[in-house]
Amino acid sequence: MNWIDIGHIDDIPLRGARKIKTALGCVALFRTSETEVFAASDTCPHKGGPLSEGIIHGQSITCPLHNWVFDLNTGQANGEDGQIATYPVRIEGDRILIDGAKLVAQSAA
């Protein structure tokens, strides 16, 4: 694991999301409660909707384009055939850390 500090927890509004740019495309960070953040792909497998613009409820995100709902624990879409990649994140004090192992581009893969 390669934990990268990407910001203060309050940089993401409660029940809101922000995205980060990575070698794999945009990854969205979803803040589901005061102290809980999930990371997953920002791109909806349906028609590419930006998930960080969706509505967060419980531990799920609803895509802003056609309302597919994804469980942020597993990335699985509710009742649809689709899944988004999820990434390990953790919170240390006020800081959000994401596992960069997969996300930072390897120069020679």
Q: Under the rule (CB under 6 A), what is the footprint of ligand FES?
A: 44, 46-49, 63, 65-66, 68
| Distance, CA of 89 to CA of 100 (rounded, Å) | 9
Between strands 25-33 and 89-92, the pairing is: unpaired
* Shortest reach from residue 12's CB to another protein, in Å: 7
Out of 3, 41, 46, 49, point to the residue binding another protein (CB under 8 A): 49
Identity of the residue numbered 90: R
| Distance, CA of 14 to CA of 52 (rounded, Å) | 13
> Which of ligand FES, another protein, none has residue 85 at its interface (CB below 5 to 8 Å by kind)?
none
* Shortest reach from residue 39's CB to another protein, in Å: 9
Binding status of residue 50 toward another protein by CB under 8 A? yes
| Cβ atoms 51, 99 nearer than 8 A | no
* Shortest reach from residue 93's CB to ligand FES, in Å: 34
